[in-house]
Amino acid sequence: MSAGRPDPLPGVDGLLAEQLDYYRRRAFEYDEWWQRLGRYDHGADHAAEWERQVGEVEDALEGFAPGGDVLELAGGTGWWTERLAGTASTLTVLDASVETLELNRRRLGPRAGLRYVVADLFDWEPDRRYDTVFFSFWLSHVPRRRFAPFWELVWRCLSPQGRVFLIDNRRGLEELLVEHHIVEEADGVQRRTLNDGSAHRVVKVYWEPAELTARLGLEGWEAEIGGTRWFIYGSARPAAHARR
């Protein structure tokens, strides 16, 4: 496996702890970002374009048809969990934030075959294998030096014919919108503020579709990654020659 571009982050464990704290605190603000409300409201034209691009991603996920036993990593408040629940036979939703999973539970309500797991993805092992692994807006929060170990974990989560679908930001989102909660960015780290004005650091590694496809190839994956102006999305599966 390739080590890829070096990760410049010193003290990465402390940074990841700060990132987790940020997302626990942000749980009740997250939907404002997704729905483009409050300080994320950039007008009707932008909202319409946002919905159009989200619709493209939703169509791609529908075409992927996530079925069987599904695992959602970093499930958050449940915007994508709802869609997965419509096609999954069973659905396991994992997140390190108790707060976001509680919002997820409220959104989904009681459902047969739905299980929640509170765990830190950087310190967790699956207790079973899944037909589909899904994660949205998570890969960009994985430091470059942990890219390979993360994808090794995903591999261990998959059944022999299992598949992956991912969604994430594309750099153009922040450049175009000048997101007011991002106050500083350097070397794969952003400094962000919450509504209360407090500042927090998070990992933020942007991937372009071609770059991510190539990097996954080096790690033994076959990937088809595309994108809109503001999002990347696509599927991956272990390459036939690399399957264990």
User: Which DSSP string do the residues of 166-193 spell out, in sequence order?
Assistant: EEEE-THHHHHH--TTEEEEETTEEEEE
The pTM (predicted TM-score) of the whole model is 0.89
Is the CA virtual torsion 17, 20, 22, 24 positive or negative? negative
According to CATH, the superfamily of the domain at 12-242 is: Vaccinia Virus protein VP39 (3.40.50.150)
User: Which H helix or E strand runs over 94?
Assistant: strand 88-95
Compute the distance between CA of residue 207 and CA of residue 225 in angstroms, rounded to an integer: 10
> One digit per residue, pLDDT tens: the chain, 244 residues?
333 444 445 578 899 999 999 999 998 888 888 888 887 888 899 889 999 999 999 999 999 999 999 999 999 999 999 999 999 999 999 999 999 999 999 999 999 999 999 999 999 999 999 999 999 999 999 999 999 999 999 999 999 999 999 999 998 655 545 566 787 788 889 999 998 999 999 999 999 999 999 999 999 999 999 999 999 999 999 998 665 5
